[in-house]
Amino acid sequence: MPKKKIEALEEVKRNYVRMALESGNYSSIARHAGISRSTLTKWIKEYEDEVREQMEDPTSAIVSTEPTKEELKAKYEQAMKLLG
C-alpha cells in the first residue's frame, strides 16, 4: 500500500529543500529542521527537480514574502501531528 502524502508536510519538505539548495549548507539546514543530514538528502533527491524548476521559473515566484522559520516549523509540527 503506498504511503499517503500529506500536502502540508510535503510543502514543508520542499521549503527545506529550497533552503538547502539556495544556501548549499545541508548540515545547517538539517540542524535547523531538526532532522538528520541523510533525511534532508533523501528529501533533496525526491524534490530537487521540482524545486529547481520553481526557483528558475519567474512566473511561479511567490508573490507574498517567504515564510519565516517559525512558520515553517509550525507547518512541520502540524504535519507531524497529522502523521501521529
Query: Per the structure, how many domains does the chain have?
Result: 1
- Tell me the CA distances in angstroms from 28 to 9, 24, 31, 41, 53, one per residue in order: 20, 9, 5, 12, 23
d(CA 33, CA 69): 9
The answer to whether residue 2 sits within a structural domain is no
- Tell me the CA distances in angstroms from 79 to 21, 64, 83, one per residue in order: 22, 22, 6
The answer to whether residue 44 sits within a structural domain is yes
pLDDT for position 1: 43
**What does the pLDDT look like over 20-78, one tens digit per residue?**
999 999 999 999 999 999 999 999 999 999 999 988 887 665 444 577 888 888 888 98
Question: What cell was used for 62?
Answer: 511567490
Question: What cell was used for 84?
Answer: 501521529
pLDDT for position 22: 92
The answer to whether residue 49 sits within a structural domain is yes
Q: Which domain holds residue 36?
A: 7-83
**What does the pLDDT look like over 60-73, one tens digit per residue?**
654 445 778 888 88
